[in-house]
Structure 1
Amino acid sequence: MRNWLFRYRFKPLKSYSRSRWKRLRPLGLGLIGASLIALVSLLPALAQTSNTVERQEDAVIQQYSLPRSTPPAPVVRPPSRPASPARPAPQRPSPSPATQSRPAAAPAAPPATAPLSEVIAAEPEPEPEPTPPAPALSQYILQFNRSPVVGNALQMQGILSQARLGFTRPRHWQVESAKIQIRFRQSPALYADRSNLTVRLNNRHLGSVPLNRTEDEIGNVLFDVPANLIEDFNTVIMEVQQHTSAECTDPTDPTLWTEILPDSQVVLNYRPQAIALDLTNYPYPFLDRLGLEADRLTYLRPKTVDSLWLTASGRYQAAANRLSNGRPIQTRLVNQLDQLNGQDRLVIIGTPAEQPALAGLDLPFAIKDNQVLDGNGAPLPNSVGVLMVTTAANGEVPVLVATGNDPAGVLKAVQSLVQPADRQLLTGQAALVNQVSEVPTPDPRDWPGYLPKDARQLLLADLTTQDNQPFQDTTVDGLPIPPAIEIPLKSLPDEQILRGSKFTLRYSYSPGIDPRRSSVTVILDGQGIGGERLQSANGGTDSVTVDIPPELVTPTSTLAVQFYTFPDVAINCGAMPDQPMWGTVHSNSSLELNRANVVNLPDLKRLQTGFPLTAPQDLSQASFVLPATPSDGDILILLQVSGRLGRLSQAQSVKLGAYLADGLPNEARQHNVVAIGLRDGFPLPEAIQSGSGLVLGNQFGRQLNQTQMQTFADEAGVIQAQVSPWNNERLLLGLTAQQPAGLTEVQQVFGQDALFSRLAGDTVIVQRTTPNPSIYNQADYQVTTLSQRPTHTVDRRGPISRSTAFLQANWVLLPGGILLLALLLYGLSQLFLNRLSRPEEIQ
């Protein structure tokens, strides 16, 4: 029975499946064909995936072997300063010989019969490494005259007045005590019982003194400062309350004054702390944004100077100046490590063959046979750059090393330092740079901090302030004249602001003002351009539109809004109203600008903004050319100029190029070219020996137009600008002199802000008037400007804009032109009418 059921069920099932297969055969063949087609179409994707895997494997292979043992982090121990610059430091008592600590004597060896455990226990423990002695107490005196706002004295006038000065604490200082010495003069008309001077530091009171000095008497007060009150950023606040009588004081009385003298000072007693070097902290300690002195970058000159070393050094110097946030950087060259001093920050750029001193430094990666080796002792590939930090001069000087086994690798290592996106990946004592990202070049007219390019209608919110933040609603208060609100209005260096530009100020003010005397004024670079009275005693919001004079707008212009808020009650005897007076400038205030992209070359005054060398801002259109065998003076000028350009630009990379005279490519000639060198052996003689302008001749000769002179011991530096002979939209800048002393003067022009701000015309001659000039006295340098070379106008406007500008500039000719055009049309019409009338006369 079971077999019959089995056979009965099996046979019908078999026949059914065969018939089903016959019906589904075409569908199955179709599915197989579609699968083959899909597989063929996926072959390119599979190949691409395979290539991606191979690239990832190559990336893994490029992870080179690191040193097997990690050396301890190098530590810099900055030298101490003397306790007092005026007096020798007091001698510290030394411990007597009897009390000096001595290392414990090693215990005697145990007897041979002692148990093994006792022998092991009796073995002497290794002596601990001796700890370095504590650094000596140092002293730093910071005088108020270091601040440019002090001048001859800090003036405080009126019943209530305040002055502020800021200073920083260097990062490696441990301050143990501090003092603030205030020297001042006061008006003899002050009433001593109601007049006083109060000094605060970081909003903490240090003390008050009465203003009771007699005429011509100098006040001298010393305030003790708790050490824990000194922070990274500090503000000294000096406030005076001044009265001329016991009952009533006129707030407009000119005898209400006190002067803080510039020889007032802050005295800091500190101990310099050791600094552990780590690329994570870069640029510290090579650049310290909290430093009180100028950073000192020292470059070790290689055995042979080539174009790649000049390019790498110039790019690093430009990037370092960007990181310094406007703080000065002193730069010098040394040939040997024994020329260093304790304040230097050494930078070594080059291959081990170019920098033999690398072999004598304690570096994470070994150097042998002028090659950098990996952890397995094999030379690194030529395309790999190496960054390392170490110390020199007995640990007093930090050293930054950018090297590799080929100049291309060295340049790659430096490029990783100048690009913020790559720099943030650095850490530890060393880094191998396999590849750096290619940063796109910004638009030549994209200048951060300036007016946005091509925009004719702007809001104040579209502008950036000095801290690179968008302008926001700003409120000031004070009685009756609060501080002015400053608004950047920096036009692009290659444009002109034309007539018809307007500024609409939207503002609000507090209630309680006197409309008869209160007002708001708009000021452009110190000149008033408009304003109005405040209308309502109850306060409110209003607006005013003023015309912007085109001749006043420059690449360094600043708009200022000044409120005058007099209360509706009279100020009697110094009594203040019970509510504050305030004014607000709103960020929706608007600018309507009529702009033209026109510039005249050459113009050294525009070089004060970096133009045209900093267009674009990554300096990719700036090329330097030096003599075939550059001197130290030539290299220092390259570093000073590139550093100045770095301060004047903001970008995510630095791409300037530097070349020797015999290797300047044609592509670089199409850029803005800066030629550096003495007159004899100048890399581009056509830049200084053209027929027009000042020409330096043989044997200290000078020629200007038809005038020729021969001077003796010409030690002046010369800066000459002209339109590039290879590209009439670019600049050829010559930096030259007759003697090396003249090249030093050129360095000072680009290193000192006061001298750099005096550039003008197309030629500048600079020479010192005293053997030891001071950076604070402009009279120590004589600067002569000349404008002798022909100018070229670079006009990128359209034809309609050019025609409109021509008519605006020559509107006097417009009536005559209209009359001539009318006469011409009248003559043509008469001629046409006469031709029409001739057939009628014949008929």
Structure 2
Amino acid sequence: MATPTPTAVPSPTVAAPVVPAATVVPARVFPVTTNPNDETVFTLERLGLRERVMHGPFDWAGFTFGLPAHWELVEGSQVELDLFTAFSGPTSPSGRPAYIGTLDIALDGTLLATVTLDTMGESTVAVPLPTTLPGGQAGKTRRADNRRTLSVTLNAPFECDPGVDAHTTLVVRATSRFVLPHRLTAPPTDLRQLPYPIVQRSVMPDVAVVVVPDTPTPAELQAAMTVAAGFGHMSGGQLTLSLTTDSRATLEQLSSGHLIVVGKINGLPLLNDITLPAPRLDAVTAAPTDGVVQLAVSPWNVDHVALVVTGDTDTGVVKAAQAVSAGTILVGARPDLAVVTQVEPQRPVAATTPTDRSLAEMGHAVTVMSSVGINTAEYAFDVLPGQATAPGAYFELTYNHSGYLNFGESGVAVSVNDQPVGGMALTPESATGLTRRMAIPPSALREGRNTLRIEAYLIPASVCAPLNVNNLWFTIQPESRLHLPAGPTGSHVLPVFDLGRYPYPFLESAILLEDTALVVAGDDPTGWETAARLAFDLGRRGKWELAAPTLYFAGDVPPEARAGKHLLIVGQPTQLPILADLHDALPAAIDAETGLPVPQNDRRLDFLLRPGVSLGYLQMFRSPWNAGRAVLTVLGSDAAGYSQAATTLTTPLRGLLRGNLALVSGSQVVASTVGAAPPVEPVAAPTEAVETVPTPWPASLSSALAAPGGRPAWILLAVFMISGLMIIVLLIAAIVGLRRRSTPGT
């Protein structure tokens, strides 16, 4: 999706609401009315927003924040801007600037105040926030996600007066803060707004816990994974999600965040405490196989909601979960209740990636950039195996732009996965529209998800022109086209499964995770929670809205799933019977007693792990039941071990992965390739390369690793050879020295 830089906002001309005038006072004596650690005071830094530097004569900065769904602002709400103003130019007889400029402060385009800037150095501007906006409820924004944008516009037009040599710099400090006293109200329970209010992106963190039955069926756990993947996609990963069971849920878990309850209606005792729109499903469903989705206020914390994904049967629960993962719920007479009779995913026309795709075919409309300086748009696209190494890829950018630009300084740069692939200067000739082709080298592409970034640097013909979107713009037309030649095909070409390529191949299906089966132990709640974290992360990285993974218990994986699905196996080896069937295919065999890996086909990495060590490890290899499918095992010597291994897949530590085996100890990752060499095929660069890890084990892991039966024979042979070479070198040096001494004149 394109993410252009926020549009520059012109000086507002609308009438400001009736609020007290802004005041400017020295920062040292500004009265702080609330404790900075209070939950009503939020600094820009706390909200993840950075300090902004603005330059005259005209500049703009925007700060976006969100209000929790259960807040309504009351009188006393305000924004307090800590400013630093620097000025060079004419001054009054007192040495102070006669006039610097003004600062327009607006909220969602509504002007709040215009502040006169006549003080250099540090100062604080306090601007009251209105509790009601036109077209909105009290303390609420008109945007569906309840987020607001505070804009700050610097106007110093005197810098453009003839004969005036002056410059203004204004810094908005990260200590600037929103003071938000509020009253609490019930959060909305409207399924049509999902993922809101579970995902709010507000000043408060988004937290949710998935609750499943104590003894769930595979279908109920599958539904939980489906919901986790769906919320990973809908939230972009900006949700702290965990999973527990009905009886294991603590009061702290139930009260500290939103609840997502998944399972059959008669297997979840905690539902008795929730006031549901339809406590009896047979009163609203037409058949036992229907799914039901309900949204209610949580009884453990009325600031949060409980999303109930249920049914009378396993089939109904899975249907309800898939509907939630799609993010679009069709309700009936009540907005807090939906009955799901059937889920019909809209499949793409082809499950493969076409050679040529326009931005329009990728779902993008025209992108307009109109800010002074750097504007950025990003587009995600997927590359199939073989396409990453096929020559001849290119991107054709179709664009036009305003003629009101400084053509000596304005230009465009294009990159793929942060590697520059092209650029051009903007000229009067290109203003009417051009198409420019830029070659994409194979080194810039990777299998799986890729990012195309277009940066337009726009400088107006005159810096004294007011910021106005009507005369400063650059457009990326949807006819712009990406060309990715197909790679080698045929039954003789097999995909290479490598940890460095994760999440490939789990995101290659036309529907999110449709080709993936999660495999867990039937009595391992920690393993279920770990699998949910992986599903959430895969959903975050996926491109499709509706999720459709399958899940099986490790002792009951049917033949059609083994042959037809990529397998993602999570847990302790001693609880996963399917690993016995994979023994001959594993890069590193697993000790039946300790559950630790024992590489058997490569003496270089033949080691013995001491019992009692908490260690996680990952293995990725070709399925013995289908050469075109992968198996990824996320295992550990204990629950903490395989949880560490999963964390490696879901954090930047993933950039350390490569090969088919990785040991994980805390934040240390030791990765290598063991066993038989994979089929020859160029390997794409890892998605998140952090650093290159050498094959030898680090010293900090030496306490956990010890060579069995002494040193391997090849080490002793190497020692003897090196020692022999050293002796020969010493003898030669001695002989040369004796000859020099016996030579006259030396």
Q: Same fold (TM over 0.5)?
A: yes
Instruction: Indicate if the aligned counterparts of 2:500 and 2:654 stay in contact, CA closer than 8 A.
Output: no
The alpha-carbon deviation at position 700 of structure 1 amounts to 8.7
User: How is 1:543-562 mapped onto 2 (pairs within 5 angstroms)?
Assistant: 543-554=435-446, 555-562=449-456
The alpha carbon displacement at 1:612 in A equals 2.8
- C-alpha offsets along residues 198-249 of structure 1, whole Å, 9 cap, x if unaligned? 34332324453648555xxx65443322222552331122344689999655
Q: 1:734 aligns with which of 615, 633, 637?
A: 633
| CA gap 1:142/1:413 in 2 versus in 1, 3 angstroms | same
2:630 partner amino acid: L
The unaligned stretches of length 5 or more in structure 1 are 1-82, 89-138, 447-452, 465-469, 769-780, 796-843
Q: How does 1:241-640 map to 2 (within 5 A)?
A: 248-249=164-165, 258-275=170-187, 277=189, 284-285=196-197, 287-289=198-200, 291-324=202-235, 326-336=237-247, 339=251, 340-351=253-264, 354-359=267-272, 362=275, 383=289, 385-390=291-296, 393=299, 396=302, 398-418=305-325, 423-425=330-332, 427=334, 435-439=341-345, 442=348, 445=351, 453-456=353-356, 458-464=357-363, 470-472=364-366, 474=368, 476=370, 478=372, 482-484=373-375, 486=377, 488=379, 490-494=381-385, 495-496=387-388, 498-511=390-403, 520-534=412-426, 536=428, 540-554=432-446, 555-563=449-457, 567=461, 580=471, 582-596=473-487, 600-608=495-503, 611-630=505-524, 632-640=525-533
2:538 corresponds, among 642, 645, 663, to: 645
**How far apart, CA to CA, are the structure 2 residues paired with 1:529 and 1:373?**
60
**Cα gap change, 1:509 to 1:793, in 2 (>3 Å):** same
1:597 is displaced (CA, Å) by: 6.1
1:352-399 deviation line (CA, Å, top 9, x unaligned): 5533444565556667xxxx7759xxx997545555555554673543
User: What SS class does the counterpart of residue 629 from structure 1 fall into?
Assistant: coil
Code of the aligned partner of 1:628: G
Instruction: Write the letter of the residue equivalent to 1:303.
Output: D
| Aligned-partner residue type, residue 349 of structure 1 | V
- Amino acid of the structure 1 residue aligned with 2:342: V
Assess if the C-alpha contact under 8 Å between 1:700 and 1:713 holds in 2. no
1:126-275 equivalence runs, <5 A: 139-146=39-46, 150=50, 153-156=51-54, 159-177=57-75, 178-184=77-83, 193=97, 195=100, 198=103, 199-203=105-109, 204-208=111-115, 210=117, 212=119, 219-229=123-133, 231=141, 232-240=146-154, 248-249=164-165, 258-275=170-187
| 2:617 aligned counterpart, secondary structure | strand
Distance change >3 Å, CA 402–CA 559, structure 1 → 2: closer
Shift in Å at residue 660 of structure 1?
0.8
Partners of 1:380 and 1:565 in 2: CA distance = 62
Alpha carbons 2:401, 2:431 under 8 Å: kept: yes
1:743-797 CA distance string (max 9 Å, x none): 4434545665x556665554455554xxxxxxxxxxxx445544556434689xx
Please give the per-residue CA displacement for 1:44-81, whole angstroms capped at 9, x wherever unaligned: xxxxxxxxxxxxxxxxxxxxxxxxxxxxxxxxxxxxxx
Secondary structure, aligned partner of 2:626: coil
1:197 touches 1:238 (CA, 8 Å); kept in 2? no
Distance across 2 between alignment mates of 1:282 and 1:538: 43
SS class of match (2:534): helix
Q: Which amino acid aligns with 1:165?
A: F
Structure 1 residue 635: Cα displacement: 1.1
In structure 2, the CA distance between the partners of 1:276 and 1:527, relative to structure 1 (3 Å rule), is closer
Question: Residue 669 of structure 1: SS of its match in structure 2?
Answer: helix
After superposition, the Cα gap between the structure-2 partners of 1:667 and 1:444, relative to the gap in structure 1 and judged at 3 Å, is: farther
Question: Contact conserved, 1:496 with 1:597, CA < 8 A, in 2?
Answer: no
Deviations 1:788-842 (A, max 9, x none): 56434689xxxxxxxxxxxxxxxxxxxxxxxxxxxxxxxxxxxxxxxxxxxxxxx
Alpha-carbon distance between aligned partners in 1 of 2:541 and 2:351, rounded to the nearest angstrom: 14
Indicate how the Cα distance of structure 1 residues 565 and 189 shifts in structure 2: closer, same or farther if over 3 A, else same: closer
Larger radius of gyration: 1
Any conservation in 2 of the 1:172–1:274 contact (CA below 8 Å)? yes
> Separation in 2 of the partners of 1:426 and 1:145?
44
Contact 1:617/1:649 (8 A) holds in 2? no
Higher helix share: 1
Instruction: Spell out the pairing of 1:706-725 with structure 2 (5 A cutoff).
Output: 706-708=605-607, 710=609, 714-725=613-624
Partners of 1:455 and 1:264 lie apart in 2 by 49
Return the alpha-carbon distance in structure 2 between the equivalents of residues 189 and 761 of structure 1. Answer: 59
Write out aligned runs for 1:765-804 (5 A): 765-768=663-666, 781-788=667-674, 790-792=677-679
Contact 1:183–1:219 at 8 Å: present in 2 too? yes
Offset from partner CA, 1:131-178 (integer Å, 9 cap, x none):
xxxxxxxx533332355563xx43445654332221122333211142
> Any idea what SS the aligned residue of 1:662 has?
coil
8 Å contact kept, 2:405–2:458:
no
Gaps of 5+ in 2: 1-32, 91-95, 134-138, 683-746
* Greater RCO, 1 or 2 (C-alpha within 8 Å, sep 6+): 2
In structure 1, how many angstroms separate the alpha carbons of the residues matched to 2:259 and 2:288? 24
| Contact 1:383–1:406 (CA under 8 A) maintained in structure 2 | yes
Look up the SS of the partner of 2:255 in the other structure.
coil
When residues 354 and 729 of structure 1 are mapped into structure 2, their CA distance, relative to the original with a 3 A threshold, is same
**Further displaced range: 238-247 or 484-493:** 238-247
Contact 1:171 1:290 in 2 (8 A): no
Q: How many residues align?
A: 611
State the shift of 1:706 in Å: 3.0
In structure 1, what residue type is equivalent to 2:632? Answer: L
Among 559, 569, 574, the alignment partner of 1:675 is: 569
Corresponding residue SS for 2:607? strand
The root-mean-square deviation of aligned C-alpha atoms, in Å, is: 4.5
Aligned partners of 1:351 and 1:407 also within 8 Å = yes
Q: Secondary structure at 2:450's aligned position in 1?
A: coil
Shift of residue 657, structure 1, vs aligned partner: 0.9
Deviations 1:510-556 (A, max 9, x none): 44666666655544455544445555489644454433323213432
For residues 635 and 273 of structure 1, what CA distance do their matches in structure 2 show?
Answer: 35
What's the offset of the Cα at 1:273?
0.9
TM-score (norm 2): 0.68
Check 1:196–1:442 CA distance in 2 against 1; reply closer, same or farther (3 A cut): same
Note if contact 2:396-2:480 (Cα within 8 Å) is conserved in structure 1. Answer: yes
- Distance in 2 (alpha carbons) for counterparts of 1:617 and 1:739: 33
Q: Deviations over 1:409-465 (max 9, x none)?
A: 4434444544567744583665665x424446556735xxxxxx2233x4444343x
Is the contact between residue 386 and residue 402 of structure 1 (CA under 8 Å) also seen in structure 2? yes
Percent of aligned pairs with the same residue?
18
Deviations 1:59-110 (A, max 9, x none): xxxxxxxxxxxxxxxxxxxxxxxx966678xxxxxxxxxxxxxxxxxxxxxx
Q: Which amino acid aligns with 1:551?
A: S
TM-score for both structures, normalised by structure 1: 0.61
In structure 1, distance between residues paired with 2:227 and 2:330 = 12
| One-letter amino acid of the structure 2 residue matched with residue 721 of structure 1 | M
DSSP 3-state at the match of 2:62:
strand
Call closer, same or farther: CA 1:738–1:159 in 2, change over 3 Å.
Answer: farther
- In structure 2, what residue type is equivalent to 1:144? L
Q: Kindly provide the amino acid, as one letter, of the partner of residue 43 in structure 2.
A: Q
